[in-house]
Structure 1
């Protein structure tokens, strides 16, 4: 139940209307998201509930790789789309067992985070996987350049807007919306708390999300006595999440890093002005301030100074809200599908 699974199922369900799609999972659990294609579960499932961040992936997942290769042969799969680093590390062994099958590595986070944080203990296998696939798909211009060092067949395809509504916010409520997993380090929730302490008394932050640090966040809000300025909601189903966006007048993101945060595209679709601390994913959306406000660092004082004019002026909020709506059109699902279909055609022509 994270952004990778969300976007993979949105894109996959749409492509299933034109292609014979299968989903494949290392877990024996069902999908949290609705699927428009069959879900194949590994014969030897892994149900840790955690993303793999260790060493020796090819040794530790030997049985699972064999299961996957058996499935590829049985279903006569033409193209395998490998999400993120663990599956990408499998690609040399997949190629060895299925030499005519085309492999795509889909990178959902930024290069530095993958190399220095998530996959530092399996960097050798990860890089070998990147080199073995037929195409690497990235989400930002920054990552396009960096992943190209490992595979010349690297391209950029944005993620689509995953929550669509024709009903925009009227931007007249004193609510700053935030949507993220409650992970302090990744999502910069310490910065968000500092921002809440600076807000005028008549403004508040409403955060929708769940995650490992939710109790810590609740305790911090209580200890800082900012219960009126910082409202913590649960992870919301789509209809309630749409209402959350419509009730907001500004969308703020304080993440230390992001690949291509789906929530910015969602907030843009609801016409919310975007204010973000620096990360490569936000930069791809906002284009150095062309479509929203992005500060060059992670300084809460700088963030508040940029935010303050929006708090005071609804006309300014409407200006940036219109820019956000304009930008959201670049991430419409049919447009993104065209790019995936073109890639599939190009790979099939190579056979």
Structure 2
């Protein structure tokens, strides 16, 4: 099969890394190409001969004017109108490489390209790979182009999503919708000894979505001899905002920001801690949860859809009513005071992590792709 994976970036970020990981595995028996129409990153060391970038970007001024006029007249706009160069570049790849299947990675790639590809290449199979929580993708993310988003979902051949809640919604637009989990990026034979007075936290520095404001409040309520170590990637402006948040809340001694980590350093980050927490407001599926579970960490998470899916509604970890910071602080302190409880939850984390092994997930993708060929 000749497959092209399309997204705004192949840089840092869960969806980008997962797409690259799955692509590399599929490339063992298929021709896999990658097209990034927005950013020229190659965080996952994809083969440069198979990685393409858009030759031209939209004219921002004309795009802004056009979108503004559409919003005045129709109260929404059509994203594909302002990505003609990017669309034409993808058409060239499809033609030149004789692509059989296009996997559109993320809500915006689906919205921009799906209808145009289906109209010009009706025999090309389109798969929408939806990483975003439905309340987010049908809410703030697509609030300015809801019609284009829904039409795109209807024309693709297949939707791949990450949770049962997502599946229920996507099936209303396209009956060919299934769940395939995102896979673990590593295997760790070593597990945490649960002795270090450290709570690990891994994220990107989006203060609102990742609930970093909640993290400040939680930090004030843990024992003085414990710290929260934050491994996070972000633009410089996001780093500055996060550091200011720490300063304003006077939790410099409680929060240890170590920057972005990957590979062995990321695994060490998990292994040298005893609890992992998630304070996100919205998550469809949180890769960092399963990474922490693979390293044997007990999990405490707000009850966003990703947390509910990974922890199976509390079977494999502790779920906290959304945004109840006091309740989360109480559960953290209970775990801090009770190593036997940490050990019990560690066993559950290790058991659950087996469901996200890379081979298992890749096999599910292979079955799906072969169904269409």
TM-score over 0.5 for the pair? yes
SS at match of 1:92: helix
Distance in 2 (alpha carbons) for counterparts of 1:332 and 1:18: 19
Classify 1:28/1:247 alpha carbon distance in 2 versus 1 (closer, same or farther; 3 Å). Answer: closer
Give me the TM-score of the superposition, normalised by structure 2: 0.89
Pick the aligned partner of 1:169 from 192, 198, 202.
Answer: 192
Pick the aligned partner of 2:104 from 77, 82, 88.
Answer: 82
Alignment of 1:52-63 (within 5 A): 55-63=77-85
Give the aligned partner of residue 266 of structure 2: 241
1:26 correspondence with 2:37: yes
1:104 correspondence with 2:127: yes
1:4 correspondence with 2:26: no
Structure 2: runs of 5+ lacking an equivalent: 1-11, 68-75
Structure 1: runs of 5+ lacking an equivalent: none
CA shift at 1:28, angstroms? 6.2
Pick the aligned partner of 1:336 from 361, 364, 369.
Answer: 361
1:43 correspondence with 2:55: yes
Native 8 Å contact 1:206 1:230 kept in 2: yes
SS at match of 1:131: helix
CA shift at 1:11, angstroms? 1.0
Give the aligned partner of residue 297 of structure 2: 272
SS at match of 2:99: coil
SS at match of 2:138: helix
Classify 1:240/1:72 alpha carbon distance in 2 versus 1 (closer, same or farther; 3 Å). Answer: same
Number of aligned pairs? Answer: 345
Distance in 2 (alpha carbons) for counterparts of 1:28 and 1:118: 19
SS at match of 2:25: helix
SS at match of 2:208: helix
Per-residue CA deviations over 1:118-167 (Å, capped at 9, x if unaligned) read 11111111111100000000000100001111101000000001233211
Distance in 1 (alpha carbons) for counterparts of 2:282 and 2:291: 18
Native 8 Å contact 2:185 2:291 kept in 1: yes
Distance in 2 (alpha carbons) for counterparts of 1:47 and 1:163: 41
SS at match of 2:115: helix
> Which aligned runs of 4 or more in structure 1 are off by greater than 6 angstroms?
none
Distance in 2 (alpha carbons) for counterparts of 1:242 and 1:286: 20
Distance in 2 (alpha carbons) for counterparts of 1:30 and 1:336: 25
Alignment of 1:1-351 (within 5 A): 1-27=12-38, 29-36=40-47, 38-45=50-57, 55-89=77-111, 90-211=113-234, 212-348=237-373
CA shift at 1:330, angstroms? 0.1
CA shift at 1:222, angstroms? 2.4
Give me the TM-score of the superposition, normalised by structure 1: 0.94
